């Protein structure tokens, strides 16, 4: 899925390592949204629907989650070109 980032709206990413579910040390899931609560909720839904996680597993995985504001480093090229230098 491709998500277009709007330069005037905050965008967050939630990254969760899922090694305990898959056995793959490099594997993680990512969700995107306009708020911290939104990315957390999407991540919890994904863990439930895709991996069949229960409440305790989700709680443990969410403690390992990293949530970051991504808008400053992934705004559209056009918006970056419009900025005065």
- The model's pTM is 0.74
Count how many domains the chain has. Answer: 1
Residue 74 Rama label (left phi>0; alpha psi -120 to 50; beta): alpha
Higher local confidence (pLDDT), 37 or 9? 37
Per-residue pLDDT tens digits for 54-65: 999 999 999 999
In a domain, 61, yes or no: yes
In a domain, 34, yes or no: yes
In a domain, 36, yes or no: yes
Q: Is the pLDDT of residue 4 over 80?
A: no
Task: Print the domain residue range for 36.
Answer: 12-82
In a domain, 7, yes or no: no
In a domain, 4, yes or no: no
């Amino acid at each position: 899925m491709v998500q277009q980032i709007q330069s005037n709206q905050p965008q967050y990413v939630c990254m969760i390592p899922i090694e305990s579910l898959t056995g793959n040390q490099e594997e993680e899931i990512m969700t995107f949204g306009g708020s911290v609560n939104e990315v957390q909720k999407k991540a919890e839904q994904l863990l439930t629907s895709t991996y069949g996680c229960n409440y305790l597993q989700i709680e443990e995985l969410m403690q390992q989650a990293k949530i970051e504001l991504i808008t400053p480093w992934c705004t559209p090229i056009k918006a970056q070109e419009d900025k005065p230098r």
